[in-house]
Copies of this chain bind each other. A is one copy, B any other.
């Protein structure tokens, strides 16, 4: 019999960033004991864990020894040592999401091939083992411009992705394994969070719409629900659910999608964990994404995914011109606006475009929430103190 609450059970979390921190709100609510490991001695998730240790998440021995001391192991970041997870599974440890899923997601080339094998809709692509191989294909005129270049490994927050219009655009790119992908003319970038528990119970959250910053290639607003037709909503949720089922995923899977100009739904990429596009759920959903992740990996019944209210999420990123001890300018002004909740991740130092927090705006009407979000965005600045 499962007994997680106020018991000797221990959940291990690889990574102590803001996702880990927000996951800990839920382990505290349920009084589930946790251990966290992160390389940063001042990691945001240091404080509310029962144990916290400093360690390199890419190091085989660190992850192995950490995993052996807990009952269930999860992660809040994909770049962790995969071989250690595989070894832990061999030893009978419960690792959710599984090493197998992570293997298929860590490398975007393998991820794309997985979609192709499972007839999951995604943009056409071709893989290259190196930049040299890609250049050769271009010279042989096997590759048309423009296209999207993606590094197979290590991409994050817009890094590792470029639109290539002519051969010279390749010059600044690294020498790594990569792919070319069709440049899809799309109406919207959407995302769906899918929760699937150990027993296979599955639920999707409403489709969200991601508005990107015109130049910084970072998400500026996440709107939930997305301003799309019921038909597109259904199609997107169905595709996302098929992806989770194909992976036999356990935990949360954030599925990023393109809505094409003729309303096709194509998979862009996935993240096997709570996701920035689900932060709105803390204030707006019956069950927030962090509680849902816990429920899924502990094989508890999944919670309702419907919303109490419409919501917009705004990322709080460091101002482009500031580095140093953080100061949240005008935070009191935004706290006066109705339905506005700031989340401060707890990073002492701001840097240009560093994710320092986010702000949730809830309202009965998504268009009103969007207006307030714009006021929030204009008002608050993440700067350094003098």
Contact = CB atoms under 8 A, between A and B. Distances in A.
B328 A5 contact: yes
A246 interface: no
Contacts of A48: 24, 28, 47-48
A202 B300 CA distance: 41
A140 interface: no
B295 A344 contact: no
A25 interface: yes
Identify whether the interface residues of A are mostly helix, strand, loop, or mixed.
Answer: loop
A362 B286 contact: yes
A338 B303 CA distance: 7
Q: How many copies does the complex hold?
A: 2
Given A5-B328, A50-B47, A304-B338, A343 B29 contact: yes
Contacts of A331: 5
A160 interface: no
Nearest to A356: B6
A335 B29 contact: no
Nearest to A201: B336
A300 B332 contact: yes
A21 interface: yes
Interface in A270-324: 286-287, 291, 295, 300-301, 303-304, 308-309
A326 interface: yes
Interface string A1-39: 011011000000000000001001100111100000000
A362 B308 CA distance: 9
Interface in A156-202: none
Q: How large is the interface on A (under 10, 10 to 19, 20 to 34, 35 or more residues)?
A: 35 or more
A60 interface: no
Nearest to A364: B308
Interface stretch (A86-94, A147-155, A253-261, A345-353): A345-353
Interface centre among A24, A341, A385 (most CB of B within 10 A): A341
A327 interface: yes
B300 A345 contact: no
B28 A342 contact: no
Given A3-B327, A48-B48, A286-B339, A29 B300 contact: no
A335 B286 contact: no
Interface centre among A286, A327, A342 (most CB of B within 10 A): A286
A29 B2 CA distance: 30
Nearest to A291: B341
Contact of A335 (B3, B295, B327): B295
A29 B22 CA distance: 8
A6 B326 contact: yes
Contacts of A287: 341
23 contacts: A2-B332, A3-B327, A5-B326, A5-B331, A6-B328, A6-B346, A6-B348, A21-B28, A24-B28, A24-B48, A25-B25, A25-B29, A28-B48, A29-B341, A30-B342, A47-B48, A48-B48, A286-B338, A286-B362, A287-B341, A291-B341, A301-B332, A301-B335
